Amino acid sequence: MNRTLRGADDLSAAGLLSGTDARALRDVLARYAVAVTADMAELIDPDDPEDPIARQFVPRVEECTVAPQERADPIGDGAHAPVPGIVHRYPDRVLLKPLHICPVYCRFCFRREMVGPDGLGTLTDSELEGAVAYIARDPRIWEVVLTGGDPFALSARRLGLIAERLSAIDHVRVMRIHTRVPVVKPDLVGDALVQGLKSFGRAVFVALHANHPREFTPAARAACARLVDAGIPMVSQSVLLRGVNDDAATLEALMRTFVENRIKPYYLHHGDLAPGTGHLRTGLAEGQDLMRALRGRLSGLAQPTYVLDIPGGYGKVPVGPHYLRESEDGTQVTDPNGCEHAYPPKA
């Protein structure tokens, strides 16, 4: 069994749909892509209806429930897309989206209306040239962030070609790849892919998306080690998800696992307002409480920044918690145990 599960029949045969209303699920499947790699399916306990790996990948009828504030393009990519495949929101960096295919389809994905076999598709050669030309024309662009879809789902040859085309642009000093492949399909991280990345010839960072410590199988750890050993630094990104990692112990274990695998925790994303994802989203105050707990119990090396992508395309910002408060007596600073202290201290 090394095949990716797709569609209701596959999921049923794997015992992952017990107790699910098949009719209601049909609407979900008609709307959103489904894929669970063998590596992830093996981690799921079919007897646990709330399994944290299943919650991320197995479709649920709750996805039919779309709240009024949820939107197809929750972070406003569309408003900043000058040419196909490019999102340019911040002056010094762009997103380059060469494809909209992923090895898994996460139920909470903020691009769930754009990814999948019926999504925005893969850039043609001429669209890719157009995107590269856009980057070449704007000397402010210092970093290119490859995302999608999952760029590691491209062939090593195509990825190498993109790296080479970018290396010809002098002002592009950094290439960053956002991917879930090293955990969900670690076998794809082979020598050819690593060499393709290295053909950029400058700084390459890989940002790994993982949400639960159990995702770090021995094969996943080995895939991350292949990248880091090749001189490619890694950072993490995770999404705060109800029933997956919304407790301090799980988040702590996740962040420690990243660091133990030489991956610097970078972002913990607040759940975006993607359609039909309310059952997976927490409140901002809960996220702040969790971050406060992490500050008290976890090495500084393992602290992520908790960020919100402001709906409408206004950008990502840290959303606390905040440790400073202005009072009548001057500035108050909260310590890791929750006690306030005047700053500067009273003489």
CA distance 231 to 201: 11
Of the listed 267, 272, 281, 306, which one is catalytic? 272
102 is catalytic: yes
Does 105 engage in binding with ligand SF4 (CB under 6 A)? Answer: yes
106 binds, among ligand SF4, ligand PLP, none (CB under 5 to 8 A by kind): ligand SF4
128 binds, among ligand PLP, ligand SF4, none (CB under 5 to 8 A by kind): none
281 is catalytic: no
- DSSP summary character for residue 221: H
Of the listed 60, 109, 134, 185, which one is catalytic? 109
Does 152 engage in binding with ligand SF4 (CB under 6 A)? Answer: no
- Residue 171 contacts by C-beta under 8 Å, 6 or more apart in sequence? 139, 140, 141, 142
Residues 116-145 that bind ligand SF4 (CB under 6 A): none
Smallest separation (angstroms) from ligand PLP to the CB of 306: 13
Of the listed 60, 111, 180, 214, which one is catalytic? 111
115 binds, among ligand PLP, ligand SF4, none (CB under 5 to 8 A by kind): ligand SF4
Q: What is the DSSP string of 130-163?
A: HHHHHHHH-TT--EEEE-SS-GGGS-HHHHHHHH
Binding residue for ligand SF4 (CB under 6 A) from 94, 106, 123, 291? 106
Lateral strand order in the sheet of 86-90:
86-90, 93-96, 143-146, 174-179, 203-209, 234-239, 263-269, 305-310, 315-318
Instruction: Identify the three-state secondary structure at position 32.
Output: coil
Cβ–Cβ < 8 Å for 151, 98 = yes
Part of the chain binding ligand SF4 (CB under 6 A), chosen from 88-96, 106-114, 280-288, 309-317? 106-114
- Residue 258 contacts by C-beta under 8 Å, 6 or more apart in sequence? 208, 210, 236, 264, 265, 302
102 binds, among ligand SF4, ligand PLP, none (CB under 5 to 8 A by kind): ligand SF4
For residue 343 the two structure tokens come to 């700053």
Interface with ligand SF4 by CB under 6 A: which residues? 102, 104-106, 109, 111, 115, 148-150, 180, 209
